[in-house]
Amino acid sequence: MSICLAVDIGGTKMAAALVDCTSQRIIDRHQIVTPKSQQPEIFSAALASLLTPFIASADFVAIASTGIINNGILTALNPANLGGLNRFELVDDVQRITNLPTYAMNDAQAAAWYEFISLTPNNNTHNMLFITISTGIGGGLVLNQQLQTGARGISGHIGHTVVNANGPVCGCGRQGCIEKLASGTAIGELGSALFKHPYNGHQVYQLALDGNKDAISIIHSSAAAVAELIANLTISLDLDAVVIGGSVGLAPHYCKYIQQYLNEKPELYRPRIISAQAGGDAGLLGAAHWFARQESHT
């Protein structure tokens, strides 16, 4: 029986869990708040305190992390998101802490893989896109039933596809990325500008649920932009299914709105839309499952 020490590194929290690779069950789990300081030494010390209690029970480490993972090094399309952690040698650092074989992938890619393997067995899904609409917008692609991580770790970073070439400048350097127009952060910014009051995305969404027409139209324009993205990627990649996750993606009515906008398009642009099922541990479980396959070949 192989035991994986799975690690999920996000902007607000970091979780570690022992995962039984045979049953795909979490045996033990702990999480801490991601250090506010983005100094590499402080981040590394936090990782060590999180991982140390689990090391003796684990055979290998599988990390799902925010950002781009290229040859074990953490970077970001928007370097401001990582601050002092840009170009952090994540795999080397965790290997030094644990002395275990260590692998790393992007967190949305890991979640995409777990959503894919959680689809009904013997399904006919070959090409699946996972979209998480939350603080930002991320994703993961499964093509021919294989997760695409990309030679440079970039595959699935759909938040930085352009939906309005005249839109606001994004941290990645382009103008009008969907993340800048439809994410939870964008919903908060649009609401704050419209209502002349500082709101976050959650508060604007609540105003919409309470019936405020302006807030409802902000949520609708987000869902419409996501529907356009889904249609574009469906016709490019022949998607069978799109799984929607994230705090905005799973908020009341959001998936239904996406479906409504897709229903206005010809049938070829309309894949099956599914709400994410795996919940908050999809990154941990997806990374454990994906890298258990590699570990079994070594």
Candidates 90-98, 99-107, 168-176, 203-211: pick the segment binding Zn ion (CB under 5 A): 168-176
Q: Is 90 in the site for Zn ion (CB under 5 A)?
A: no
Q: Is 160 in the site for Zn ion (CB under 5 A)?
A: yes
Buried b / exposed e across 113-136, counting CB within 10 Å, b at 16+?
A: bbbbbbbeeeeebebbbbbbbbbb
Q: Is 177 in the site for Zn ion (CB under 5 A)?
A: yes
Smallest gap from Cβ 170 to Zn ion, in A, equals 3
Choose which of 170, 223, 229, 244 interacts with Zn ion (CB under 5 A): 170
Candidates 8-16, 89-97, 170-178, 220-228: pick the segment binding Zn ion (CB under 5 A): 170-178
- Of residues 60 through 79, those in contact with Zn ion by CB under 5 A are none
Q: Is 223 in the site for Zn ion (CB under 5 A)?
A: no
Task: Kindly state the number of chain residues that form the binding site for Zn ion, as judged by CB under 5 A.
Answer: 5
Candidates 1-9, 159-167, 251-259, 267-275: pick the segment binding Zn ion (CB under 5 A): 159-167
Choose which of 6, 172, 285, 288 interacts with Zn ion (CB under 5 A): 172
Smallest gap from Cβ 180 to Zn ion, in A, equals 6
Q: Which is nearer to Zn ion, 44 or 66 (CB)?
A: 66
Q: Which is nearer to Zn ion, 119 or 137 (CB)?
A: 137
Smallest gap from Cβ 175 to Zn ion, in A, equals 9
Candidates 21-29, 38-46, 120-128, 156-164: pick the segment binding Zn ion (CB under 5 A): 156-164
What residues make contact with Zn ion under the rule CB under 5 A? 160, 170, 172, 174, 177
